[in-house]
């Protein structure tokens, strides 16, 4: 099961899916999924959507590959009795577990009214620069991919992003950090050395709390390491294949 981050969609995972197979849904609020204002866009709320999807598929055991905000969703799934998680891969996990480590855009989105104004002012050009700033090279986000994602970046997705970031109060992030200590599942943490949003120094916030985690920093890779370095998909596949 592949869990994408904000503001993207399951399209992020086309390369890894071709290598490993699996399920990669558009999480509620993103891509082509439902984006109603009544939906719960917290990690727990998104996790309930994933649980329902897996239950519909008859899946009770899973391996999770989670990127960015998908990591917070993965933690919620790991705490659920409905799914047994056998292995976990986290890539450039979010949110930061240190309140001082939020990127500037995220700090703006967390503020009422100012966040709405900042979100509403994003143009297609700014959107493209924002994605490419987080990556090691512009090749990770070709024009066609940016155009497709821009079409999905509608009012519903913008609302989901704001609600997801505002969920992350100091108390909730502390609860998330404390929950990591009770997750003994074998975990591989991959982090792009040139992540322009969440630098690799933040990886220790996650790795040091997870009882069975190994960290690998990916050189010449940004926030989506496998887009800059396609061989990362092979590393994910190799870890998931271990028994």
Residue 137 pLDDT: 85
Residue 233 has pLDDT above 90, yes or no: yes
In this prediction, residues 68-84 reach a mean pLDDT of: 95
| Residue 192: strand, helix, or coil | strand
pLDDT tens digit sequence for 85-130: 999 999 999 999 987 789 888 999 999 999 999 999 999 999 999 9
Residues 97, 218: Cα–Cα separation, whole Å: 21
The pTM assigned to this predicted structure is 0.96
Residues 173, 169: Cα–Cα separation, whole Å: 6
> What sign has the CA pseudo-torsion 92, 96, 98, 102?
positive
Residue 138 pLDDT: 79
> Which CATH fold topology does 2-241 show?
Rossmann fold (3.40.50)
Contact 68, 4 (CB under 8 A): yes
Residue 37 pLDDT: 95
Average pLDDT, the chain: 95
Task: Name the strand (E) or helix (H) holding 171.
Answer: helix 170-180
Residues 215, 42: Cα–Cα separation, whole Å: 26
Residues 81, 62: Cα–Cα separation, whole Å: 13
Residues 177, 171: Cα–Cα separation, whole Å: 10
Residues 175, 170: Cα–Cα separation, whole Å: 9
In this prediction, residues 15-25 reach a mean pLDDT of: 95
State how far the alpha carbon of 243 is from the alpha carbons of 66, 137, 154, 173, 186, in Å. Answer: 20, 35, 42, 32, 10
End-to-end CA distance of the chain: give it in Å, rounded: 18
Contact 214, 189 (CB under 8 A): yes
Residue indicated by tokens 């960290």:
215
Vertex 121: Cα angle to 153 and 200 (nearest 5): 70
Residue 243 pLDDT: 72
Residues 119, 109: Cα–Cα separation, whole Å: 7
Residue 127 pLDDT: 96
* pLDDT band (50, 70, 90) for residue 4: very high
Residue 99 pLDDT: 75
pLDDT tens digit sequence for 169-221: 999 999 999 999 999 999 999 999 999 999 999 999 999 999 999 999 999 99
Residues 101, 90: Cα–Cα separation, whole Å: 18
Neighbours of 7 (CB within 10 A): 24
Residue 25 has pLDDT above 90, yes or no: yes
Residue 148 has pLDDT above 90, yes or no: yes
């Amino acid at each position: 099961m592949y869990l994408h981050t904000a503001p993207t969609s399951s399209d992020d995972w086309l390369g890894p899916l071709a290598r490993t197979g699996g399920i990669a849904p558009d999480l509620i609020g993103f891509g082509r999924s439902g984006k109603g204002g009544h939906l719960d866009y917290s990690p727990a709320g998104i996790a309930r959507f994933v649980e329902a999807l897996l239950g519909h598929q008859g899946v009770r055991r899973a391996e999770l590959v989670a990127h960015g905000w998908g990591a917070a969703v993965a933690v919620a799934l790991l705490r659920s009795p409905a799914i047994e998680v056998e292995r976990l891969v986290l890539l450039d996990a979010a949110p930061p577990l240190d309140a001082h480590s939020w990127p500037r855009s995220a700090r703006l989105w967390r503020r009422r009214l100012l966040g709405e104004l900042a979100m509403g002012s994003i143009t297609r050009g700014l959107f493209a620069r924002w994605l490419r700033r987080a990556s090691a090279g512009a090749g990770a986000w070709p024009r066609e991919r940016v155009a497709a994602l821009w079409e999905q970046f509608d009012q519903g997705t913008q609302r989901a992003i704001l609600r997801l970031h505002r969920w992350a109060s100091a108390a909730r992030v502390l609860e998330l950090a404390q929950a990591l200590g009770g997750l003994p599942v074998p975990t591989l943490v991959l982090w792009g050395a040139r992540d322009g949003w969440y630098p690799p120094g933040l990886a220790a916030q996650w790795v040091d709390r997870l009882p069975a985690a190994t960290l690998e920093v990916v050189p010449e890779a940004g926030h989506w390491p496998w887009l800059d370095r396609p061989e990362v998909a092979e590393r994910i596949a190799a870890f998931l294949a271990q028994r």
